Amino acid sequence: MANGSHKYDKEPIGQDSCHCRMRPCRDFDCGGYSMSGPIEIINLRTMTCTLMEDGVVIATYKVEQCDKCSRLVKFDDFGYQKGFGNEKIIWFCAECR
């Protein structure tokens, strides 16, 4: 500690920790990185969602923003409220209907 560094920099990592020193790693070929189950990636330009699990694409579907609660949820055609002449004017998610 005479040179101003922390004592933790000099301690050994341990046998079951990966090289990134962030968390214990039990998988030796992960390289320190691993996915943690399902994840949704939403593209706001196209309003599509890609559902992935462990880096594999499971599904791709359209999402829409609810006009009442402003949440982005999976799109269904039943959520439209129709106006004069059956014109689709606003869209509600299943919880707000």
Quote the pTM value: 0.56
Pair (93, 71) in one structural domain: yes
For 16, residues 6+ apart whose C-beta sits below 8 A from its C-beta are 24, 25, 26
pLDDT at 17 over 50: no
Tally of domains within the chain: 2
Pair (81, 47) in one structural domain: yes
Task: Express each pLDDT in 22-61 by its tens digit.
Answer: 455 554 555 555 556 889 999 999 999 999 988 899 999 9
Predicted pLDDT of residue 24 = 52
pLDDT at 65 over 70: yes
Domain that holds residue 17: 1-34
Distance (Å, rounded) from C-alpha 18 to C-alpha 23? Answer: 7
Pair (43, 19) in one structural domain: no
Pair (66, 42) in one structural domain: yes
